[in-house]
Structure 1
């Protein structure tokens, strides 16, 4: 097989069709006409001597061999994109770095990163995107991002985790909640008083379900309100109106106004914590840039988060129906 006529453009078009599952959508994303893109995919198939997509299905899906070619094409383009990096001197931190951040860390960690990072590393173009955990992992494996800030352990052999800190959990109570008289909250207290939760795409939600031993399938459906929020700020506002309680990670709790902090309660030992890490795919680590991100974030963290706890680390358990995908 002579692949000398194969082009990087053909591989980019291949990945676009795989991502959009549509020749039209792929052409629009690549800003070319659909006939031009289709012709290049046909040419690629002729070079390789295989059919890459089942065009009889809607949406378009790759064939079995097409799936393998897509995987290899992604590796080829990934390595090609690194050519500018190898021209930099070994001790120079420069280039671009794409960082994904889960929503419950974005508001508290990114402000600590941006100002200090741009001052310390002016030759780095840092691109930051907010992503839920499962999408962040997928983007890492697809090389759509270089690294991520997430809660670990993820239990994936394809993901490398570099420890950053441990964040304690706090209970945030409505002003007249029965538990507000307690100086500390036991985990068993939350079985009776169900907390308000984030929506399903947030790993912090599944940590709370695990911590409180809540099975939503067994919740009564004949009364009460069940609301799942997109942000912790919304849950805080609901609690402030005098309704129930929620759980907050330490950095969010630290940002509360002084009048709101009186509504916080710590957990009695063992205190639940979540582990924060910089993650990346093992085969795509960009060590100097990753080290730079890690060092700036570590320097900006409160000392309480940098100490290794002796308490219970709650893993970011993904919902069962999403782990199967």
Structure 2
């Protein structure tokens, strides 16, 4: 009897769930059906793969060894399917993940461009935090993800798209109270008690803390804000200051007319945004084409922000002044 891909997928699900019932739910089969496949797999290999306990499953040494091979086999199968699917470049079904501090600003610009290029493209968007997107990407639920670089993942191919600089946002009174030194505002000089950040897990918050040389428990992060729109609405009414990416400037100033924005002094803090895919997934033009389109959309937004709020200083013609 040969080992089947179904058996390997069931075994991976069991190893991750550590419970026959939960693994069966994940694979949308009955528990007895999954159990039969695991027993047949053990019989074929001539080795016990799991230790069965009342509410738990523990992998044996042979099970751990098989898990490594099984994941590699399934990854190769996904790469094979990707290769066939993308033979004609950017088309067919595309599943794209995007982090929340990018999706509401970049996608309204990028999607019309994408549709104009290929009307037949069936696009699925998944908005989630970076860690979740990278898990979904690795497990084949996404074809690519737009995240902040670098990811530090050797199993991924990264394509740099554009630089998104951070602006300082608040009410006119809060921003005005900072003064204007010859070298401009420095992130590390900000008062932690006046800084509002997104809830833990957002890479934008981690990047802001890094450039400010702060620790999370030193800032006012008890509001639990999960979106930039919420933070911008709060700071526009005088509840502190926050970091605003350039790509969000146009949208957030339109939504919160009282929002005042200033640039930091040079060198301005920034993040690099990029597109990532699995290293084993072939690029027959779809990844390069998608990256170029997203980079163009990002360049449009950042160019608008740099024209609206020049690097030399605050543009007094912008809303909120």
Q: CA deviation at 1:244?
A: 0.8
Structure 2 residue aligned with 1:153: 150
Contact 2:235 2:259 in 1 (8 A): no
Q: CA deviation at 1:100?
A: 1.6
* Cα distance change on mapping 1:216 and 1:240 into 2, 3 Å: same
Q: Pick from 276, 281, 299: which aligns with 1:279?
A: 276
Correspondence list, 1:24-173, <5 A: 24-56=21-53, 58-83=55-80, 85-87=82-84, 90-173=87-170
Structure 2 residue aligned with 1:252: 248
- In the alignment, the residues of structure 1 paired with residue 54 and residue 200 of structure 2 have an alpha-carbon distance, to the nearest angstrom, of 31
Q: Report the count of equivalent residues.
A: 301
Q: Pick from 7, 20, 24: which aligns with 1:23?
A: 20
Q: CA deviation at 1:35?
A: 0.5
Q: CA deviation at 1:233?
A: 1.2
Q: CA deviation at 1:60?
A: 2.8
- In the alignment, the residues of structure 2 paired with residue 130 and residue 292 of structure 1 have an alpha-carbon distance, to the nearest angstrom, of 21
- In the alignment, the residues of structure 2 paired with residue 255 and residue 39 of structure 1 have an alpha-carbon distance, to the nearest angstrom, of 55
Structure 1 gap ranges (5+)? 312-325
- In the alignment, the residues of structure 1 paired with residue 153 and residue 109 of structure 2 have an alpha-carbon distance, to the nearest angstrom, of 28
Structure 1 residue aligned with 2:316: none
Contact 2:89 2:286 in 1 (8 A): no
* Cα distance change on mapping 1:213 and 1:179 into 2, 3 Å: farther
- In the alignment, the residues of structure 2 paired with residue 117 and residue 254 of structure 1 have an alpha-carbon distance, to the nearest angstrom, of 21
> SS at 1:104's partner residue?
coil
Structure 2 residue aligned with 1:213: 213
Structure 1 residue aligned with 2:317: none
Give yes or no for the alignment of 1:232 onto 2:221: no
- In the alignment, the residues of structure 1 paired with residue 51 and residue 127 of structure 2 have an alpha-carbon distance, to the nearest angstrom, of 33
Q: CA deviation at 1:92?
A: 4.4
- In the alignment, the residues of structure 2 paired with residue 41 and residue 48 of structure 1 have an alpha-carbon distance, to the nearest angstrom, of 11
Give yes or no for the alignment of 1:204 onto 2:221: no
* Cα distance change on mapping 1:98 and 1:60 into 2, 3 Å: farther
Structure 2 gap ranges (5+)? 312-321
Structure 2 residue aligned with 1:186: 186
User: When the two structures are superposed, what TM-score results if normalisation uses the length of structure 2?
Assistant: 0.82
User: When the two structures are superposed, what TM-score results if normalisation uses the length of structure 1?
Assistant: 0.81
- In the alignment, the residues of structure 2 paired with residue 225 and residue 109 of structure 1 have an alpha-carbon distance, to the nearest angstrom, of 26
